[in-house]
Structures are given as structure tokens and as C-alpha cells.
Chains A and B, each alone.
Chain A
Amino acid sequence: AQTVTQSQPEMSVQEAETVTLSCTYDTSESDYYLFWYKQPPSRQMILVIRQEAYKQQNATENRFSVNFQKAAKSFSLKISDSQLGDAAMYFCAYAYSGAGSYQLTFGKGTKLSVIP
């Protein structure tokens, strides 16, 4: 079974600084997808960024970028120029298209605080 591990329960960053959230996963598959979701205090899950495993190039979305290391099964999220609105829970997630269901496996999350 696939597992996703986020080893940092909480992190903090100064406003305008850069922070990196860690995620590792375990899978025997070669074709899969990885995601970072943000859950602000409103608790609605918002997709931040996705990475296809077959792509070597790291995904970027504005101030958000990932460092995808397939061999190491590592998928970290870097937030540049942190803003107060970035304060949230961040969840790493894995998806493999087995059984036609495209289920997501989530990590337990990292709570990010942004210090003004």
C-alpha cells in the first residue's frame, strides 16, 4: 500500500521569506501523480500544485515550486516570498490510477504559520 509521510507537524516562516515543506512517499509504482493541497482556516481544500511522476521537470505555480526526487521518493514544496495568506495546513497527496478510482493518499499535514 502507498503511504505518504510529512515529518514536520508544524513550521513557521517570516513574512517575505522562503520555506520548504517536506514530503516522502512509498510506492512500488512507476506512474503516479503527486499533489500539494492547502487547507486554510475555512477548511476547504485547495489544490496548490501537481507533479506527474513521468516528468523530470519540477512543477512551479507562481510562488510555489516543488523539488521532486523520484529515486528518493521525495516531494517537497517551496513557498517563496511568504505571505500572511499562506498560513494554513498543507497536505501532500499521492495518486495512482489503480482500480479505476484514482484515490488520493494524504499525509497527515504540516501546519504553516507566517510571522508578520
Chain B
Amino acid sequence: SQTIHQWPATLVQPVGSPLSLECTVEGTSNPNLYWYRQAAGRGLQLLFYSVGIGQISSEVPQNLSASRPQDRQFILSSKKLLLSDSGFYLCAWSRLPPIAGPSYEQYFGPGTRLTVT
């Protein structure tokens, strides 16, 4: 079965410090990978998605960047955090086209709660 891991679970960082959040998926290959942010009391905002190693698409201009150094590893980074970067960050994966599965749902990790002080 497939599992998705995220770490750290909780992070408190000062403004201006760097950030690195990691997400790994087990039990599948060539997944699509996604980073979402959820602000308090709000829905999910897609930040980045990746359809393969080194292939990153950004949905919104921001202070963050993403990388996919390995097939099942997705990293969210920032060189200098802003107060507005606080939130709950969720990583997700999905299968490739229908030949690999019948549906397009995404499976989410447990999330990272980031507080920028």
C-alpha cells in the first residue's frame, strides 16, 4: 500500500530564516506530487505540482520554491520566510493517467504546521 510522509510536523521559524519541508511517498512510482497551503479557516491553495523529477509548476507567485530531486521526494523551500508564510502545508500525490488507475483523487500527507514569528 502507498503511504505519504511529511516532516517536520510542526515548525516555528523567525522571519527571514530559511525553510525546508520534505515530503516522501512510498509504495508507488512516478506519482504526481503537490504542495498545498491552508491558512487558518480557509480552503486549500495549490502552490506547486510536479509530474516528474525536476519538473515543477508554480500556481501562485510567492516567496516559496519547490524541488523534486527524486521520483518520490518533494521539497518545499524558502530562502527568507515572511509572516504571511505561516499556515498548514499539505503534500499530496496522485496516480498518472487512467492506465495506472481509474481515478484522479489525491492522497494527502499529515501536514506541517508552520508558524513564522
Choice from A42, A108, A109 contacting B110 with Cβ under 8 Å: A42
Nearest CB of B to A32, in Å: 8
Q: Which residue of B32, B44, B104 has the most chain A CB atoms within 10 A of its CB atom?
A: B104
- Taking a contact as CB atoms under 8 Å apart, the answer to whether B103 and A101 are in contact is no
A107 to B97, CA, bound (A): 24
Please tell me the number of chain B residues within 8 Å of chain A, measured between CB atoms: 25
A97 within 8 A of B: yes
Contacts of B27 in A (CB 8 A): none
Contacts of A109 in B (CB 8 A): 42-43
B106 within 8 A of A: yes
Asked, given contacts A43-B111, A45-B90, A108-B42, whether A101 binds B105 with beta carbons under 8 Å apart, the answer is no
Choice from A33, A44, A106 contacting B111 with Cβ under 8 Å: A44
A100 within 8 A of B: yes
A97 to B89, CA, bound (A): 24
A21 to B94, CA, bound (A): 25
Nearest CB of B to A94, in Å: 10
Q: Which residue of B105, B111, B113 has the most chain A CB atoms within 10 A of its CB atom?
A: B105
Contacts of B88 in A (CB 8 A): 43
B: which residues have CB within 8 A of A?
A: 32, 34, 38, 42-44, 46, 49, 51, 57, 88, 90, 92, 94, 97, 103-111, 113
